[in-house]
A and B are shown apart, each in its own frame.
Chain A
C-alpha cells in the first residue's frame, strides 16, 4: 500500500489532481474567511453584472456574488460526495463480501438484487426515487446512495471469491478461527485495492450526478449555493450573462477531473502490471 502511494506521487497528472482536490477542500473548510461576500447576500442594484473589481466572477440575477457562491458550493458538493460514497462503499462491500464468502443462496439473492438495480441506466432510478421522495438535497443523497452500491458489491464479491482460495485463509480456518474473524481480519483487508480506486473515481461520479439532480431541480433547493442549480439558474440569461453559465461548470469539471486523475493514477499505482503496460 505504501509502495502504491509512492508510485502514485510519481504520476504527474495524479499529483496535479491531488493539489486541486486539496485546494477545494481548503476552500470548503475556510469558505467564510475566503469568500468576499455572504453567498446569500442580495444586491438588487448590481444584478447580472460581469467580472469587475468588486465581484471577480460577476453577480447573478439577485446580485449575489458568483465567486462566493462557488466557494460555498464546494461544501455542498464535497459533503454530498463523501456521504454518498461512504454509504455506498460500505453497503456494497458488506453485501459483496457476504455473497462471495458464503456463496449458495446468500450469493444468489444478493447477486440477483444487484443485477436488478443495475438494469436501470445511470441516473434514471435515482431520479425517480429523489423525485418521489420530494425535491431536496438530503433526498437526492438518499436516492444516490440507494442506487450506487451495486458496482461495489460486484467488485467486492469477485475479490472475496479470489482471496478465499488463498493458503493463509485455509490456515486461519484450520486454526479454528470463526467465519467473522476470517472475513474481517484475513479476507476483507486484502480486497481493498480496487475498492479504493472505485471510491476515488466514485467521488467524481457522485459529485457529477448530484449536480445533475440539482440542475434538474431535484437536489439542493434555492437559495443554497450549489453548482448544479447555479447552472440551472443561468439558463434564461445565456446570452445576456454567459458568465453565469461558465464559472460553476468549470468548478464542477475541475473537481471531478481531479478525482478522476487521482483515481486513474491509483489504479496504475496499485496494479503494477497495468502500470508497466502504460509506462
Chain B
C-alpha cells in the first residue's frame, strides 16, 4: 500500500514537471517581438544585420515552429544538454550546476538561522499562550513577514558591512560572505515557521498523552521538549518544504543584492540580457527542485505519522 502510494506520488511529480516545461516554453514563446532580434540587440547594442539574424536563428533553432523547438529542447534536456547561453556562449548545464550549488548552500544556511530563531520563539509562544511573550512572538513574526527582503538586506549591509565593518557586503566563497545573505533570508523564514510551530505545538499540548506525562510527575521541561515536541515535529516537517520554497522564491532578489552566484541571480541576469535559453533552463531547474522537495516531504510525512495510511 505504502509502496503504491510512493510510486504514484513520484509519477505525479514527473507529470507536473513535464507540464511545467510546456507552460514555461509556450509562455516564453508568446513574448511579443522576435526573441532572436531582441537578444542580438541586447548583446550588440546595434540592430543586427539580416544575415546575423538568420544565422543566429538557424543556430539556435528559432527557424523552427514552437512545438518542434519544444521537442528538440526536451530531447536535448533528457541528455543533460540545456543549450548554450546567448550572452556568454557557456553551456547552460554547466552554469546551472554551479548556480544550483550556491543557491542550495544559501538555502541551507538560511534554514539553520530560521530554525535557531523559530523553534524557541514558537515553543515559547505556545507554552506561554496569551501572555506578553505570546503577543510579542505573534507581532514579531508578522513584522518579519512584512519586511521586504531587499530592505532588510540593505539595512544589514549598512550596519554590519559599512558601519561596523565586520562582514563583507557582497561576494561569495567564505563563510563570512554567507552570513548576511543567510540572515536576510533566514529572518523571513523564521517568521513563517514560528507561527506554524506555535499552532502545531498548541494542538499537541491539548492531547491526552501530555496530561498523562504530567500526571506521571515528569518535569514541565521534559514534557514540552521531549514528549510534546516529538509529536509537534510531524506537521513541522512541512515547514522544511515551505522554507525551501521561500528561499528559492526570494533568491532572485537576495542573490542579486548580495552578488551571490546562485540560480536567482543567474535568472535575473539572463532576463535583462533577454537570454531565453538560460531563462528556460533556470525556471525548469526551479520547478524540479521544488517538486522534488515537496514529494520528499509528502513521503517523509507518511513514514513519520503512523496515523496517515494510504
Contact = CB atoms under 8 A, between A and B. Distances in A.
B148 A249 contact: yes
Nearest to B18: A116
A123 B162 contact: no
Interface in B152-166: 154-155, 157-158, 162
B5 interface: no
B151 interface: yes
B245 A253 contact: no
Given A115-B16, A253-B147, A260-B145, A124 B32 contact: no
A216 B264 CA distance: 11
Nearest to B12: A115
Given A117-B23, A238-B158, A212 B267 contact: no
Interface string B242-271: 000110111111001100000010011001
Given A119-B291, A132-B28, A212 B150 contact: yes
Contact of B271 (A131, A228, A256, A279): A131
A206 B286 CA distance: 21
A63 B264 CA distance: 33
A13 interface: yes
Interface in B112-162: 129-130, 138-139, 142-143, 145-151, 154-155, 157-158, 162
Given A121-B286, A123-B249, A238-B157, A261 B142 contact: yes
Nearest to A279: B130
A127 to B, nearest CB: 5
Contact of A257 (B32, B130, B143, B157): B143
Interface string B83-110: 0000000000000000000000000000
B27 interface: yes
B24 A128 contact: yes
Given A235-B154, A245-B155, A252-B148, A116 B271 contact: no
B154 A231 contact: yes
Contacts of B27: 128-129, 132
**Among the interface residues B145, B252, B267, which one has the most CB atoms of the partner chain A within 10 A?**
B252
Interface string B268-296: 10011010100100010011001100000
Secondary structure at the A interface, as helix, strand, loop or mixed, is: helix
A239 interface: yes
A122 B267 CA distance: 14
B31 interface: yes
A158 interface: no
Interface in A103-162: 112, 115-117, 119-125, 127-129, 131-134
Interface residues of B, number: 52
Contacts of A260: 142, 145-146
Nearest to A208: B148
A165 interface: no
Given A204-B146, A249-B148, A116 B253 contact: no
Nearest to A242: B158
B245 A121 contact: yes
A257 B144 CA distance: 9
A242 B272 CA distance: 27
A119 B252 contact: no
Contacts of A119: 16-17, 20, 287, 290-291
Contacts of A235: 154, 257
**Among the interface residues A131, A234, A260, which one has the most CB atoms of the partner chain B within 10 A?**
A131
B253 A215 contact: yes
Nearest to A248: B151
Contact of A216 (B17, B138, B158, B268): B268
B271 A127 contact: yes
A124 B252 contact: yes
Nearest to A214: B150
Interface string B20-39: 10011001100110000000
Given A115-B16, A128-B28, A231-B151, 15 more contacts: A119-B16, A122-B245, A122-B250, A127-B268, A132-B27, A132-B274, A212-B252, A215-B148, A215-B150, A231-B148, A249-B151, A252-B148, A253-B143, A260-B142, A279-B130
Interface of A: 13, 112, 115-117, 119-125, 127-129, 131-134, 204, 208, 211-212, 215-218, 228, 231-232, 234-235, 238-239, 242, 245-246, 248-249, 252-253, 256-257, 260-261, 264, 277-279
Interface of B: 16-17, 19-20, 23-24, 27-28, 31-32, 129-130, 138-139, 142-143, 145-151, 154-155, 157-158, 162, 202, 245-246, 248-253, 256-257, 264, 267-268, 271-272, 274, 276, 279, 283, 286-287, 290-291
25 contacts: A121-B249, A121-B290, A122-B248, A122-B250, A123-B252, A124-B248, A125-B283, A127-B267, A127-B268, A128-B27, A131-B268, A131-B272, A132-B31, A134-B32, A208-B148, A212-B149, A215-B148, A231-B154, A245-B151, A253-B148, A253-B151, A257-B142, A260-B142, A260-B145, A278-B129
